[in-house]
Amino acid sequence: MRCLAIVLLSLAGVLPAAAETCPGNPDAIGTSRTITVDPAELPRIGTIQYRRTLPLNDHEVVITFDDGPLPPYTNRVLDTLAAHCVKVTYFLVGQMARAYPDTVRRIYNDGHIIGTHSLSHPFTFHTMGEAQIAREVTGGIARVKAALGHPKAVAPFFRIPGLARSGTVESYLADRSLAVWSADEVADDWHRGITAKDIVRLALKRIEAHDHRGVLLLHDIHPATALALPTLLKELKERGYKIVQAVPPGVRPKVLPERPETMVARAGQGWPRLLETKPVTQEIAAKPAKHRKHAARKDRDERLAEKLAKKKSKPQTAEVERGFFSFLQ
């Protein structure tokens, strides 16, 4: 009988994964299992707005983060999640992904799932026509895909900014096999002036009131959320909760390579060096002889750009400045 029960639990995918243990942190809550979310079977998720949500067991929580990435808060959140071996689902904004592609890759390579949250995060989805919806949805996916560099790395999960749903948006997403994610609980972490303590209190109170389970919506772009996360995970563990990660069906790459641009920068030959504040002469002296000539030339270029940037009255200056600093964007 017991064997049968284990087989049945295994088939249902509810056996705790081996990943429950977290190397180096015996107090970590870890990630107990994954749950596969197929948009065809579960097109709308979250009881705040819909009738159905993820089929979670008692004391199971799925954590989601919206609006990023935004270093340093996203990085702080990622550090906490890694320290506790917690895997979550992100809903990234296209413009943010374009601005911080390395952070997008870190999110993925840390084992989190990445869905999207529009191109520019307008709060007007509920009033938009289909053309505008299409621009925001496809634009967001395209930017996140570009940051990840792999088409299968983006999950077919979409969360509408401000949860501003409409029949038009939902039909559009359903036609493209994108699951719409609302949530079961929020912690008001986007409110101005909210403290980390309040975020923890609200999250726990609402999860407990909601049958001790649910999809929790947080934002990794706020300092208070980043500060609240370690305590929230600790409290969830102490109260007997388990973290579940929602994943899309199908195969996706396990790890993505570092972006070529980042590798160049790491090698010390890229433009981010321009942002360093130490005296350039010291930098040149520290270089091996074969690199000195190149470094000295770069130093001249920097001084020239600086000089030109000061002469704002001449039209030519603006051109040079724009050309020069476009490398940094």
Footprint of Zn ion on this chain (CB under 5 A)? Answer: 66-67, 161
CB of 93 to Zn ion, least distance (A): 7
Q: What is the 3-state secondary structure (H, E, C) of the chain?
A: CHHHHHHHHHHCCCCCCHHHCCCCCCCCCCCCEEEECCCCCCCEECCCCCCCCCCCCCCEEEEEEECCCCCCHHHHHHHHHHHCCCCCEEEECHHHHHHCHHHHHHHHHCCCEEEECCCCCCCCHHHCCHHHHHHHHHHHHHHHHHHHCCHHHCCCEECCHHHCCCHHHHHHHHHCCCEEECCCEECCCCCCCCCHHHHHHHHHHHHHHCCCEEEEEEECCCHHHHHHHHHHHHHHHHCCCEEEEEECCCCCCCCCCCCHHHHHHHCCCCHHHHHCCCCHHHHHHHCCHHHHHHHHHHHHHHHHHHHHHHCCCCHHHHHHHHHHHHHHC
Nearer Cβ to Zn ion (172/181): 181
Nearer Cβ to Zn ion (60/185): 185
Nearer Cβ to Zn ion (85/97): 97
CB of 50 to Zn ion, least distance (A): 17
Nearer Cβ to Zn ion (67/185): 67
Residue where the block lists tokens 């407990």: 208
CB of 320 to Zn ion, least distance (A): 38
CB neighbours (10 Å) of residue 289? 6
Nearer Cβ to Zn ion (66/189): 66
Nearer Cβ to Zn ion (28/70): 70
Nearer Cβ to Zn ion (67/184): 67
- What Å distances lie between residue 86 and 16, 129, 182, 233, 265, CA to CA? 14, 38, 21, 9, 30
Residue in 72, 103, 85 with CA at minimum distance from that of residue 25: 85
CB of 220 to Zn ion, least distance (A): 11
CB of 241 to Zn ion, least distance (A): 25
CB of 196 to Zn ion, least distance (A): 20
Nearer Cβ to Zn ion (66/136): 66
CB of 116 to Zn ion, least distance (A): 11
Residues facing residue 185 across a β-bridge: 216
CB of 48 to Zn ion, least distance (A): 14
